[in-house]
Amino acid sequence: MRVIGGIYKHRRFEPPRTFKARPTTDFAKESLFNILDNHIDFEDGIVALDLFAGTGSIGLELLSRGCDRVVSVEKEPAHHAFICQVMKAVKTDKWLPVRGDAFRFIEKSEERFDIVFADPPYELKELEILPDLIFARQLLNDDGIFILEHGKRNNFERHPRFVERRVYGSVNFSFFR
């Protein structure tokens, strides 16, 4: 897992090979952040939520780009421990790794975010309702953006808050506002 931009650029962290989750590819991550750089000034007090954080790759990239605070929610104990290990290695107090279920976090969160990024397992049966839950719970600030990483078979183009979709190999990003 490599950081591609910002203050931690070129730093590498190797998640154990036993992990179920794999970091978003550098190609997809670079493309995603090129899009976000055109919509968001990361050094403008941005608060981000990384749901289904896996290895923490996106959360770390958000921090590296200048986010004031990143909350990463991950259910798997080993993945959460790895995120905590990376957080200590980069010596930041701006990253809050939360060990827990993303859906429970969504239900209980009172905080609002400028960016919500979700990379759930592509076969997750609740995947289709995830955008509705984010907006129903008002997790986004008024100008916030929700990014959902998903497989090819999911189509969110009819969702009322859908903005655009980008495809990078087998990685699909749908953007909602």
Would you state the pLDDT for residue 151? 86
Would you state the pLDDT for residue 13? 96
Run means of pLDDT, 10 residues per run, the chain, 177 residues: 96 90 87 93 95 97 97 97 97 98 98 97 92 97 96 90 92 95
Is 30 within the bounds of a domain?
yes
Is 172 within the bounds of a domain?
yes
Collapse the DSSP code of 104 into the 3-class scheme (helix H, G, I; strand E, B; otherwise coil) and give the result.
Answer: helix
Is 78 within the bounds of a domain?
yes
Domain count across the chain: 1
Task: Name the residue range of residue 79's domain.
Answer: 26-176
Whole-Å CA distances, 135 to 43, 52, 113, 131, 145: 25, 17, 11, 6, 11
CATH code where residue 94 lies = 3.40.50.150
